[in-house]
Structure 1
Amino acid sequence: MVDDSQTILRIEQMALREHYDIITANDGGEGVAVAVEERPDLILLDVIMPHVNGFDACRRLREEEVTRSTPILLVTSRSDVAHMEQGFRCGCSDFVTKPIDTMELLEKVRNCLGD
């Protein structure tokens, strides 16, 4: 999970920790580095972050051989079509909108992982 908000990271952790092992990062650049090293099964990536935003981090993850096919869920407060199209062009697998609905989050995680 990559988010600059500790509150959002806690919400996501509470929703998922019972079923999944979780690794966190606090910005897009750190998230890419951690993902390349740790090779997670799924990446939750906030869109609006300082330094490296979620769209740029998603592009970078798709350029890395070890994360090229890793499912990426972009987490965003915007649900307009143009925003979502931009995310899919960057290579995301799906979106989760804020405020986070924990049941929706868990369902999308399961779908991405084939659980």
Structure 2
Amino acid sequence: MNRADEDGRQALSARTADAEHDHVGRRLRTLEQCALHKRTLRLTCPRCRHVRILDAVPLWWLFQRRGWDDALPAVIGRLRCSSCGGRGGAAVRPRLTVGRDPPTGAQFPYPDAASWKKLVSRYRS
């Protein structure tokens, strides 16, 4: 491996590690925290390697409306691969990485302004 490849990998791992923490260095542990800090969730299927990047804000809103647990380990239990998860056998759970990449594909609906402002206000107080 040459020096440029090594530097690129170190920079990528530093950005990923930075994205998993808030502005004071605390690890993001829930969808609510990821939404407040404007992160995205990179979902990678371990079986077919399909990658989907979801915006945390609309995903948080979906979990909020349905009353589901928004802790990141619980989120993984609610998701499955859209490419190979529907085919026979056990559901395939994706690997989740918190990041700042732009979302891909269709996204869930965003919360209304009042709900979003209520969350932000609760976080600030």
Q: Greater RCO between the two (CA within 8 Å, min separation 6)?
A: 2
Bigger Rg, structure 1 or 2: 2
Same fold, judged at TM 0.5 (above): no
Q: Which has the higher helix share?
A: 1
Normalised to the residue count of structure 1, the TM-score between the two structures is: 0.28
